[in-house]
Chains A and B, each alone.
Chain A
Amino acid sequence: MQTLYLTLALFLLLNLGAGMWRVLRGPTSADRMLAVQLFGTTAVAILLLLAQTYNKAALHDVALIFALLAAVTSIAFVRRAWPNRGGKHGTD
């Protein structure tokens, strides 16, 4: 089972690498933030797999923090840091 866990974690890491392409390419900043959302979800999955592999319960807490931080990052981006090019709705 250990091998399967580690292989799957590596596979998810490669998924993250493919998601980096969207960060480099993405035409709008929203596309780049979507890659951040992908990173959050995938990092949680990888950490859960590692916690099971190495039998370290503390990694569950790290996964929880990652999930929280991904949400805070995206919400802060949408509410504060997204450049408002249209300008007709004010600064919101």
Chain B
Amino acid sequence: MVLINYISSLLLIIGGFFFLAGTLGLVRFPDVYTRLHALTKADNVGLGLIVMGLAIQAESWFVVGKLLLIWLLVMLTGACVAHLVAGGALQRGIRVWKQ
């Protein structure tokens, strides 16, 4: 039981780190495309790690399935939104950032 606690804590903390990376990208990156890149990937990985950390502590398989389902839904919507926003931004003539 103690080992499971350690693994879970580790996964949760790494997940929090990925969330921090996503937020930093959103705040610091120069244009909408790079922000999209930081946000939709890093946050989904962070959520996945947090879901894993919670799932190995869950008391029933039903809860595990539900957590995985939530993660899948968030990943799906993240991918859809990234495509839509990037396509829309290109169509509306927002310039791609160049050094």
> Would A12 and B16 be within 8 Å (CB), given that A48-B67, A64-B73, A67-B77 are in contact?
yes
Task: Give B21-48 interface residues, CB cut-off 8 Å to A.
Answer: 22-23, 26-27, 32, 35-36, 39-40, 43-44, 46-47
Residues from chain B with Cβ under 8 Å of A57 in the complex: 63
> Would A18 and B23 be within 8 Å (CB), given that A30-B89, A41-B78, A71-B77 are in contact?
yes
How extensive is the interface on chain A, given as a class?
35 or more
Residues from chain B with Cβ under 8 Å of A28 in the complex: 32, 89, 94
Say how far B65's CB is from chain A's closest CB, in angstroms.
Answer: 11
Number of cross-chain contacts by CB at 8 Å: 132
Top-8 shortest CB links A-B: A71-B77, A41-B43, A74-B81, A78-B84, A15-B23, A86-B93, A30-B32, A67-B74
Residues of A participating in the B interface, judged by any CB pair closer than 8 Å: 1, 4-5, 8, 11-12, 15, 18-19, 21-22, 28, 30-31, 33-35, 37-38, 40-42, 44-45, 48-49, 52, 57, 60, 63-64, 67-68, 70-71, 74-75, 78-79, 82, 84-86, 89, 92
